[in-house]
Amino acid sequence: MSVRKLRYEEMRVGELAAARDEAPLVYVPIGSLEYHGWHLPVGFDALHAHALCLAAAEQTGGVVLPPTFWGTEGHVAFPGSLLVSPDTLAALVRDILTRLTEREYRLIVLCTGHYPEVQGRLLERVAAEHEAHDPGVRVMVLDPFTVHPTDPHAEHAGIVETSVMLHLRPELVDMTLLDQPGALEAITPDAADATAEYGRERFETIVGEMVRTVKEALSHA
């Protein structure tokens, strides 16, 4: 039995056209390269957003772009962080939205795994600009915290994000590093309480909310 492809970069042009005809929907996962303590990979935000988009697309249809690892603001001065200016990210996203609109996608979902209070607000401004320029396109901005139905609080490399990575990519997590001196600096200190089971529950809850929100928007696209 064939498995429907979701990853834009792995699809042939005919497959892309067929997927768009079925659902004119595209997910754009946006993260960052940012310090997430010593125990998590610096690309966590993008890896998380990409995984959420892929899981949602399995239920909504559409395609998923490769994750964008360039994010803005945050833990700029910490080891491993490579963050760009807000203007640079905004320009990149504007170009992405323009190209996707030219390819006749009518619902574009920007999913930010990084800093919803800052990066999420920037993406919302860019989305509103694009919709004003082309009202035939809907651009949604979602993130794994404000989408959650009961716990919208964003944390940094603590129990939530550590648990999610233990669920998604446990080989990228080293919990023993949390015992090192200074390991809890600039992260949420409950990271040591993380479990893969909690990560799975959290991830599935967020996917469910994303699917509900996107399906509702898609019905009007």
Residue 214 CA from chain centroid, whole number: 14
* Domains, the chain, with CATH or none: 8-213 (3.40.50.10310)
pLDDT for 2 equals 56
Q: Is the pLDDT of residue 211 over 90?
A: yes
Q: What is the pLDDT of residue 221?
A: 77
Instruction: Over range 28-36, report the average pLDDT.
Output: 98
- Window from 29-38, 68-77, 150-159, 172-181 with minimum mean pLDDT: 150-159
Taking 70 as the threshold, does the pLDDT of residue 178 lie above it? yes
Cβ atoms within 10 Å, residue 165: 25
Least confidently predicted of 75-89, 96-110, 150-164, 166-180 = 150-164
Q: In this structure, what token pair is assigned to residue 214?
A: 């996107």
> What are 34-53's pLDDT values in tens digits?
999 999 999 999 999 999 99
> In terms of residues, how long is the chain?
221
Q: Which residue has the tokens 């990560």?
A: 199
pLDDT surpasses 50 at 108 = yes
Q: For residue range 1-24, what is the model confidence (pLDDT) as tens digits? A: 457 899 999 999 999 999 999 999
- pLDDT per residue as tens digits for the range 54-94: 999 999 999 999 999 999 999 999 999 999 999 999 999 99
